[in-house]
Structure 1
């Protein structure tokens, strides 16, 4: 082969490589004309770990929204890419690196939990990758100056007072015992609850234990000696169920309350129906039931058909987080930077609530709802400011 001919072949090969690279970049697939025909949106959270029941419903909601969108045969389709962090910050860190460098996602639904959100927020910012969490509630997440971070739920500075103020109204406690484990979310919610109790002149005692502990006898002894009127645990149902069982086994009968992390039927199975009866749970989420009407009824029916299960915690928020990305893509935005700019202006009636973001990524709507375990099942009592205890 002559030198001139070899040069032409090499030049053609180099040009072809550049075209292929251009089509593959930015998380989107392209057609023969180089136009983006698909983008990848990630979903990150605990999909197989001990608290996965909090994360599978929002994943199912997000998937349903994207499946509905893709079924309309849009110009740009969306591929939902799951990342199972098991709620662990170190796993989230390695997964987001893969998501950005290999999978080239253009947005992320999640992370689901606060600890993993804190761990990768800086990476998302550096990568100019917008995220919308359906369930991370730690207040500090909005205080990092991140411009690519968003959530569609009220934070613990809303949820904590919602729990405390409801209990003050319902039980008029003089003394409260506030507990947490050592997870980011748990500590943040417990702090917010304790601060709100103290503002209402309720005496507060505190204790904290390790996330992976299984024997809470030291904590139970402290609570029993304190004789509180109410107990509030800021944490997830896996720990809450064990804790509640051991408290009841230790003779502690005070009303037990917790937040969104414990709002799952597995709290009842973990504690036992008798121990869990009457427990109060608060959540910045409105879980639709079979007897609702309007858009929530339509969502309930579609979700049950899609997921083969009733909607559970944060199912509607997962749907709304995905819808925010869908609307951005529908408007012609297919890169992280352009999608993020669009999210700054987005405003629509979601299934869970009206969706609009403040400049720091917080939602404009911050409603808190109260649930109670009655007859072994979780029952919605209503918005915190209107709800009344049963029994």
Structure 2
């Protein structure tokens, strides 16, 4: 028998140990008394504010947890996707290598489609606070969840609101050809056709600066309402060019456009009166949920700004994972099992997951631009009809 040098035997033992640890993949995340959580989503890029709102909520929840749970400190690593499906997979690979026990994000539907299969293979539970593409729930994923209802609910509700509340019959549909926007526009169109209305329609490239071709089509159609399915960066450009081009139709959009950036880009005067829907609501203090006011105050104190779109959802998603850890679940498998039992009142909404990872609460709410700011209206019955 050939003698194996001691150095080679040591390397072999180390290699075997490494393989053993790899085989346990999914139970990582704890090192030196610290438990790892990860956020993945836009921190830079044209629509970054939505991702920043979420990560701020995540940071606040973890800071509050660590202040009262010194024995099990939670550490957060953020992975910036720029909101781009082409960037997200590389960031997801880095995240998986770090072995967190849970993931908050991604923020957008396109990047979720690109990376959720990686998280599923790695067996890491993940909750998106804001990705709404209906197709995401149809993949049979066991580790994927979201804390907001899908585009089918929003698109259908928006169409119903425009027809029933606003009594509009001439409608023009524009989408920015993103994963999220295509699904939402499709459901909106389907719901309108069920009402006997076929809208004019066009697509824009969110990276373009000149939408004159689309503006001319809108002007020719002379609609009462222009519905935009897309994000605030492109929506603001479209809205400004509509008004500059003489289009005075009501601008109606979705949660991807629910950001002050829409108004800042379009101009306050041009954006005035616009209506935007979201499966989120303005978090207002209520007597029966004192945690809402506590969240509002703590967020403002920490970041010196008011909470924004999806801040509360990011906060709630993180607290679901932190509650799991408090209950003694500090591995990916235990946390994923815990998610099946969650039934709590969050700051943003009641939190309970269906078997396919969808949130049970399907509520849609509306906002309107008034005096250069987004004002919460309530449900569809609160939309002004004149």
Q: Is 2:229 the counterpart of 1:234?
A: yes
Match of 1:34 in 2: none
Which residue of structure 2 lines up, in the alignment, with residue 48 of structure 1? 44
What does residue 146 of structure 1 align with?
141
The CA deviation string for residues 124-171 of structure 1, in whole angstroms up to 9 with x for no partner, is 111111110000011111011111110000111111122222222332
1:313 and 2:314 correspond? no
Instruction: Show the counterpart of 2:251.
Output: 256
Deviations 1:204-252 (A, max 9, x none): 1211122211111111111110111111000000000000011111111
Further displaced range: 278-287 or 157-166: 157-166
- Looking at structure 1, the residues matched to 150 and 279 of structure 2 have their Cα atoms a distance apart, in angstroms, of 8
How much does 1:85 deviate?
0.2
Tell me the CA shift for residue 48 of structure 1.
1.2
Which residue of the other structure, out of 368, 376, 379, is the alignment partner of 2:375?
A: 379
Q: Which of 191, 195, 211 is the matching residue for 2:190? A: 195
TM (norm. structure 1) is 0.90
CA 1:41–1:221 in structure 2 vs 1: closer, same or farther (change >3 Å)? same
Computed over aligned residues only, the root mean square deviation of the Cα atoms, in angstroms, reads: 2.5
Matched, 1:345 2:341: yes
Q: Quote the Cα distance in structure 2 between the aligned partners of 1:287 and 1:77.
A: 31
TM (norm. structure 2) is 0.92
For residue 350 of structure 2, what is the aligned residue in structure 1? 354
After TM superposition, give the deviation of residue 201 of structure 1 in Å.
Answer: 2.2
CA distance in 2 between partners of 1:197 and 1:66 (Å) = 43
In structure 2, the residue matched to 1:28 is: 29
Q: Shift of residue 200 of structure 1?
A: 2.0
Structure 1 residue 202: deviation in Å? 2.5
Unaligned runs of 5+ in 2: none
Contact 2:39 2:104 (8 Å CA) reproduced: yes
Unpaired runs of at least 5, structure 1: 32-36
Q: Which residue of 2 aligns with 1:247?
A: 242
3-state SS of paired residue (2:363)? coil
Aligned position for 1:88:
84
Are residues 390 and 277 of structure 1, via their aligned partners in 2, closer, same or farther at CA, if it must alter by over 3 Å? Answer: farther
- Correspondence for 1:158: 153
2:107 paired with 1:112: yes
CA contact (8 A) 1:287 1:314 kept: no
2-structure distance, mates of 1:342, 1:206:
44
Residue range with higher mean Cα deviation, 303-312 or 326-335 = 326-335
Q: Residue 272 and residue 159 in structure 1: after superposition, are their counterparts in 2 closer, same or farther (change >3 A)? A: same
Which residue in the other structure is 1:68 paired with? 64
Residues 8, 67 of structure 1: alpha-carbon distance in 2 compared, 3 angstrom cutoff: same
* Residue of structure 2 aligned with 1:38, choices 34, 51, 73: 34
- 2: CA distance between counterparts of 1:12 and 1:261? 52
Answer whether contact 2:189 2:198 (CA < 8 A) is retained: no
Q: Is the 8 A contact 1:162 1:282 kept in 2?
A: no
After TM superposition, the structure 1 stretch with the greater mean CA deviation from structure 2, 110-119 or 169-178, is: 169-178
CA distance in structure 2 between the aligned counterparts of 1:352 and 1:107, rounded to whole angstroms: 20
How many positions carry a matched residue from both structures?
379
Inter-partner Cα distance in structure 2 for 1:43 and 1:264: 21
